[in-house]
Structure 1
Amino acid sequence: MISGSVDFFQDDRSDILTSNRAVPSYYGATPPTFNVGKVKSRGFEIDLRFNKKINNNLTLWSNINYTHARNKVTYADVAGLLPLYAKPIDKQIGQAYSYVSAGYYNTWDQLYGSTMHNANDQLKIPGNYHLVDYNADGVIDANDNIPYGYSGAPENTYNATIGFEWKGFSAFAQFYGVNNVTRQVVFGTFSGKNTVAYDEGSYWSKDNTNPDGPMPRWETTPAGFYTADRYFYDASYLRLKNAEIAYTFRQDWVKKAGISSIRVFLNGNNLYVWTKMPDDREANYQSAGGQGWASQGAYPTVKRYNLGANFIF
């Protein structure tokens, strides 16, 4: 009635090919890729199966699976004088990085008393994010871009399928979920003097100092990091991945037609999702620049419905 398995794994890799080298720009040339990286991976998987025949007509079954996998960079060719938080060491592959906000500039006094930006500081206005000076050096710059959330690959995945068979009827539903994952979805409202505005919830105003997001900018160019962590999301989700209901005909009229059985079914894929993400996506595609985080390009998860029949002769 009940069966299952538990698997543990570890994967220690070395001599990983990398193009990120600790060579200063004034060296005057791009160094070649080099087998120098080291990564340690650990995890486990639990699989449980249940199958119970209640009587001659009713059977219940389910499959439950949980996987935990976490990796950590143990060595990389990075500059020795960088602070630890700026190095990939002891972090996941693809760790997200972001500037972090501590609320908004709600008044000019708060703005004038804030930490200066190293670029376009004069373009700050109330309604923008008040960025955290993480290294406390008195200026917001690249050194305040810090590890944020998780990587784009989920640490934990869950899968549960439950079903039954009863007097020719059968049905099942599969739920799939992940957590400990971070994604970036950038909405370019008014970016590049574009008139497109996305539905991002409420914006800052003098009468709404606790909004969903800062005041949009138009025809001004603040520092590129002024959006802080606004477009980073907890990408955990629970999805109704598959569901089906079916009935199998084995009556005499079927056999008289020269058919052993007819199975009629209605099923669907990606029927519903519960998530904090602004849209339904399972991944970010890579784009140029930055930390390798893609802000655009992920195609929405497709929802499908199928109605059909299987004839067995």
Structure 2
Amino acid sequence: MENEGNYTFDNSSLSTGYAQTKYANRNITWETTTVTDIGLEATVFNGLNVTLDWYKKKTKNILRDAQVTGALGLDAPVINNGEMENKGFEINAQYVNNIKGGLFKGLNYNVGFYFDRNRNKVTKFGTDEISGHYLRQEGLPYNSYYMLDCIGIFRDEDDVKNSPKQFNDNTLPGDLKYRDANNDGVIDNDDRVVIDGRFPKFEYAFNLSASWKGFDVSLLLQGVEGKKHYVTDWGLQPFRQGSAPTIDYVKYRWTEDNPDNAKYPRMYFDDFGGSKNTRKNSYFLKDASYLRLKNLTIGYTIPVKLTRKMLVERIRIFFSGDNLATITNYPELDPEREEDGRFVAYPQNKICSFGINVQF
């Protein structure tokens, strides 16, 4: 039941009205999940520890809205229907060693590597569902990207005339060009295709720590490969609610003087030229793969024989930094974001700190 507004029954006072808006299902049950996990751990070569883990998770009786016709008059009830499978493997290798002779005698270090590959697939669902630029279909990852495939920008009038007609648009040079995926000579919603990138191909990390003669260092590199984000609006579409276009857009947009090397379409005000350019399409899919220096810490501990003269047990001077450097093709902003949405999103903070630890 939901509040459907106020009503009058005597033409003088209002009463709050409630009405049923959704069918109820008294027979829903819990989702069920079955996990199979096989692991192997081994220590070899006097200090190399390797952990391998393979897993498969199957979820059944997924809670979701029933697929019903709108002729029912109310929203669909929640039912148990659908199955999903997640499977993958993880590798974690760590090598620990202590150098006992030579120039670097006394050096302790640890080097590690982590790799994770996961695959998601809908195994039972029913009729395909399309929600914006997402597709839910058996045999595909859940909410796969589904959209027109943008293959470039129209160079000139001849390029427009010699290309398939795009919907009923007034297509102009500088507008986005879509691929005729089904080769029927026209561009319409039947040309939407599934595009990879909804989930990363793999994730990985490197770690290193070492200490020697009072000096210590540790670092963590974190990476994601094959992930894409669907982003729009501020920072990507010029003059969105009056916001200025980026310098990069102004410099590399399509113009009559720059028809061949345009990185961005012709400049419109706010709406990006209307639906002809803002239909769900791969232009708005941005490569979010990255490798980031997640943390770096460097320190020095003053020798005990000096600190004890100052009646101090231990003094350590250090520098620590988070998110110091990132290698990525993601345009201008931070690829490490939670989900699709507005292009402008608050980035991960870059933090630098210096300090002294004193123990008495």
> Which residue does 2:320 correspond to in 1?
267
Contact 2:92–2:113 (Cα < 8 Å) also in 1: yes
- In structure 2, distance between residues paired with 1:89 and 1:227: 21
Query: Aligned residue for 1:217?
Result: 268
Q: Does 1:196 align with 2:244?
A: yes
The CA distance in 2 between the partners of 1:247 and 1:270, in whole Å, is 22
Q: How high is the TM-score relative to the length of structure 2? A: 0.75
Deviations 1:70-102 (A, max 9, x none): 11111223259xxxx965222222322331123
Task: State the partner residue of 1:308.
Answer: 355
Does 1:32 pair with 2:72? no
- Which deviations, in whole Å up to 9, do the C-alpha atoms of 1:211-241 show, x marking residues without a partner? 1121122485343545832221221100011
1:45 is paired with a residue of what secondary structure?
strand
Aligned with 1:3: secondary structure?
A: strand
Using the aligned pairs only, state the percent identity: 27
Answering whether residue 155 of structure 2 is matched by residue 106 of structure 1, we say: yes
Query: Aligned residue for 1:70?
Result: 119
State the shift of 1:296 in Å.
Answer: 3.9
1:277 offset after TM fit, Å?
Answer: 0.3
Partners of 1:40 and 1:245 in 2: how far apart?
Answer: 43
Larger RCO, structures 1/2 (Cα 8 Å, 6+ apart): 1
Question: Match of 1:290?
Answer: none
Task: Describe how 1:168-247 pairs up with structure 2 within 5 A.
Answer: 168-186=214-232, 187-191=236-240, 194=242, 196-198=244-246, 199-200=248-249, 202-208=252-258, 209-218=260-269, 220-223=273-276, 225=278, 228-247=281-300
| Superimposed CA distance per residue, residues 105-142 of structure 1 (whole angstroms, 9 cap, x where no aligned partner) | 223233234333445x1x21111122123234554333
Does the CA-based 8 Å contact 2:135-2:146 persist in structure 1? Answer: no
Structure ID, larger Rg? 2
**Structure-1 residue corresponding to 2:334:** 280
Aligned-pair RMSD on alpha carbons?
Answer: 2.5
Tell me the amino acid that sits aligned with residue 22 of structure 1.
Q
Amino acid at match of 2:54: F
- 1:148 paired with 2:195, answer yes
Does the 8 Å contact 1:284/1:294 carry over to 2? no
Question: Could you tell me how far apart the structure 2 residues matched to 1:195 and 1:305 are?
Answer: 31
Q: Decide whether the 8 Å contact of 2:200 with 2:227 is kept in 1.
A: yes
Q: Aligned in 2, Cα 1:250/1:94: closer, same or farther, shift over 3 Å?
A: farther
2:135 and 2:144 in contact (8 A); partners too: no
212, 215, 234: which one pairs with 1:166?
Answer: 212
| Structure 1: gaps of 5 or more residues | 286-292
Counterparts of 2:302 and 2:180, CA distance in 1: 69
Partner of 2:61: 15
After TM superposition, give the deviation of residue 14 of structure 1 in Å.
0.9
Tell me the SS of whatever aligns to 1:215: coil
Q: Check conservation: 1:284, 1:295, Cα contact below 8 A.
A: no
Equivalent-residue separation in structure 2 for 1:108 and 1:154 (angstroms): 39
Q: Which runs of 5+ in 2 are unaligned?
A: 1-46
Using the TM superposition, give the Cα deviation of residue 204 of structure 1 relative to its aligned residue in structure 2, in angstroms.
Answer: 1.6
Please tell me whether the aligned partners of residues 204 and 222 of structure 2 are also in contact (alpha carbons under 8 angstroms): yes
Partner Cα separation in structure 1 for residue 117 and residue 243 of structure 2: 44
Shift in CA distance, 93/283, structure 1 to aligned 2, threshold 3 Å: farther
Residue 289 (structure 1) aligns with: none
Q: TM-score, normalised by structure 1?
A: 0.85
Q: 1:68 to 1:164 in 2, by over 3 A?
A: same
Equivalent pair of 1:100/1:229 in contact (CA under 8 Å)? yes
The 3 A distance-change label for structure 1 pair 31 and 136 is farther
Distance of 1:179 and 1:79 partners within structure 2: 28
Matched, 1:6 2:6: no
SS of the residue corresponding to residue 61 of structure 2 reads strand
Which residue is 1:50 aligned to? 95
